Structure formats: structure tokens, C-alpha cells
Amino acid sequence: MKTANFLAVAAALFFVSSVIAQTTEEHHKKITEHHTVIKKKTEELQNGKATDKKVHTEEIGKSIEGAKKEHTMMESKMTEEQKTATKARHDSMRKHHDNATASHKALKEETIKTTPNEVKIKEHAANINKETGEAEKDNLEIKKTIKK
């Protein structure tokens, strides 16, 4: 009986610690997942396939914020040596996420208008898509550099 309880407690602690202690690899993966959502939603806005532009815009915003959060968490778990080796890429990723955030703000303002300008919506979506693509390139380069 005591062994069964001990094993149950040990399994629970292992599960909790594995959820809390994400690795940089897991953060890279989550950043990529957020970037994928952003690119898909912006492409749908650009191609006129978005069924609800406001919902797409909200989902884009959540994923931009999610990618930024995961990036911060990933960077906090890196060694000083890894941070130094990837500093330029981290700075670049932050810049691209900030640019995507600014374009998202403009997109959001456009989509809530009574008569949104479709050309502007597509332009903002294209800008977000471009910045996200560049941020993902940085993410992959960081991943490659720290695996060396």
C-alpha cells in the first residue's frame, strides 16, 4: 500500500515538474506553432477566405502575444553563453514581433470600422505575415545555434 501511494505521488510530481519546467526546445516548438497560426490567419485575410475578420484579428493578436511570451521564457532558460551567441537573433526576433504587433494594432483598428477598407486589411495582414516569417527564421537560427 505504501509503495503504491509513493509511486502515485512520484508520478504526480514528475508530471507537474515536467509541465512547469519546459525546455528551450519546447519553447521553440510553441513559438513555431504561434507563428504558424499567425501566417495561416493572415493568409486567409489576404486571400479573402477569412469568414470573420474580427475573429481572425483576435486570434492573430493572441498568437503574437503567445510567441512573444514563449520567446521571453525560452531566453530566460538559456545559458549566458547561449544568450551571447544568439543575441543578434533575439534582438531581431523582438523587432519583428514588435513590428507585427504594430501592424496588428492597425489591422484591429481597421476591422472595427463601420466600413473597413479591404485594401488596408490586406496590407496589414501582409505586413504581419512578413514580420512573422522573419521572426520564425530567427527562431530556427537560434535553435540551430544552441544545438551546436
CATH number at residue 77: 1.20.120
Look at residue 82 and tell me if it is in a domain: yes
pLDDT digits (tens, 9 = 90+) for 92-117: 999 999 999 999 999 999 999 999 99
Compute CA distances 85 → 5, 128, 133, whole Å: 46, 27, 22
Query: The whole model's pTM is what?
Result: 0.84
Residues 96, 16: Cα–Cα separation, whole Å = 33
Look at residue 19 and tell me if it is in a domain: no
Which residues of the chain are modeled with pLDDT < 50? Answer: 1, 10, 12-20
Owning domain of residue 62: 24-147
Look at residue 111 and tell me if it is in a domain: yes
